[in-house]
Structure 1
């Protein structure tokens, strides 16, 4: 059985700690802050700005799945997350609460693997 070098665990831990801080603002600024208004303006319809970036958000996250069946679930789940976030942004025109919610979800998904990694459970 292969063992993971200690330095590699620490690199993984550092990446997992910084990921939520970087990923959440970048994705929300890109999808809701930039793409949503551009598509709504380009098509002249608010629904285009809500739906099209949500499809992209879903498709982007399918790479996280371990199988094609999982990819379909991820696409659907992240599409609906994107749709909900897009609706919130459309009605309130505020990105910060969406960034915070995205950050909390990312932290939860980064923290558990980090704890397991540092406890040598994998």
Structure 2
């Protein structure tokens, strides 16, 4: 009986992951026929009472993501200079926050579970935070990870030269703050909170990380690059769960965004 329940739960979680991921892909590729098929599948899931909250949350996210994609493909697509276009693109992430906020109000749920000071002394595993061969603290793991990121990007930053840094530093600060804060509120704040309540922490981290990676396709990245972003999302989600706060993920995300700008990966 327990084994049957276990496999049933795993299949449900995999199906939910597939449903959430395909919605993001469909909305970015304008596959309206597939959208109809997705709607039918969502309805079949909705019949199951245990899946209704997930479907409602996913549809609320889908509405926000549709508005986000529409605004960026119709309203600001030709905006110049490029830096202004990128900043407005990131600010339009607010369209994802609004319907998710409505869900929190309707169901009388907290805005997010991770809106608190981080537990820096909490134990994590190395190298994957939730699993690994060595144990350390959140603060130590984050420090080492950020140093590794800095070392990895440094050759590209040095190659661009000091003149480029002087030209780009204002954009770097604005972009890294806006993008990091808004993306973390959406993915490791609101969605991770809602999905953790439904699937538990590990599956919630998995689902939100896949979604986080796939949504980068609308920013001009390849699907292969999206998988790399999804891997980053796994680390952001795991450190959020362990520290019980989005603060470490915001700090880490902000550093990576800054390094991407300085290396020329965002604006060149």
> Structure 1 or 2: larger strand share?
2
Q: Is the 8 A contact 1:17 1:110 kept in 2?
A: no
Q: 1:9 to 1:17 in 2, by over 3 A?
A: farther
* Residue in structure 1 matched with residue 27 of structure 2 by the alignment: none
Is 2:184 the counterpart of 1:28? yes
Instruction: String of CA shifts for 1:59-111, please: whole Å, max 9, x gaps.
Output: 01133445xxxx23212111111011111111111211211111111111223
**Structure 2 length as normaliser, TM-score?**
0.35
**Structure 1 segments (4+ residues) deviating >6 Å:** none
* Residue in structure 2 matched with residue 99 of structure 1 by the alignment: 250
Which structure has more relative contact order (CA 8 Å, sep 6+)? It is 1
Q: Is the 8 A contact 1:36 1:50 kept in 2?
A: yes
**Structure 1 length as normaliser, TM-score?**
0.70
* Residue in structure 1 matched with residue 204 of structure 2 by the alignment: 49
Q: Is the 8 A contact 1:51 1:83 kept in 2?
A: yes
Instruction: String of CA shifts for 1:6-26, please: whole Å, max 9, x gaps.
Output: x94785756554211100011
Structure number with bigger Rg: 2
* RMSD, aligned α-carbons: 2.7
Is 2:217 the counterpart of 1:62? yes
Which structure 2 residue ranges, 5 or more long, are not aligned?
1-79, 86-167
